Amino acid sequence: MRDMHNNIKVIQTHSGANVGTTGAANGTLSAAIDRQDYDAAEFVYGRGVSGAATDSIVPVVLEGDATNGSFASVAAADLLGTEAAMTGSAAASGKVGYIGNKRYLKLRLYGIGTATCRVNAHALLGKPSRAPVA
């Protein structure tokens, strides 16, 4: 099968979560995402309207060897695209891919600015070892 529909798994990581306004400490962190049986991972995320043009939502992809172990920021060489901040008051979306070799991933979304906004995110797992994916 050459279609994408039957060859990806979608995992919701953030569902209408409010993010803090003072950096990573007040952000929202996803649960661990297990990449077993998948060779590709992509995070897609979006934010709602914010209160100020200078507000930003920043994504950070983390990797680890165990669900309960320590997670570290992914090196830029193991990302497709960048963890670019979404700045401005309008709704926006972004994506970043992972090409590293760690089994577990997490996504942190945090805000910088004066107003919070709601964020949503999903992890898309692809290149399954067995397809089609249910």
pLDDT for res 60: 94
Report the candidate in 78, 70, 85 with the shortest Cα–Cα distance to residue 101.
Answer: 78
pLDDT for res 118: 85
Which of 15-24, 56-65, 124-133 has the weakest average pLDDT?
15-24
Cα–Cα separations (whole angstroms), residue 84 to 20, 68, 76, 131: 18, 27, 11, 32
pLDDT for res 30: 94
State yes or no: pLDDT of 1 exceeds 60: no
Looking at the DSSP assignment, which residues form a beta bridge with residue 87? 56
- What is the average pLDDT across 34-50? 93
Between residues 113 and 12, which one has the greater pLDDT?
A: 12
| Residue % of the chain over a pLDDT of 90 | 56
pLDDT for res 132: 83
pLDDT tens per residue across span 44-58: 999 888 888 888 889
Backbone angles phi, psi at 77, to 5 degrees: -65, -20
pLDDT for res 46: 92
Helix (H, G, I), strand (E, B) or coil at 8: strand
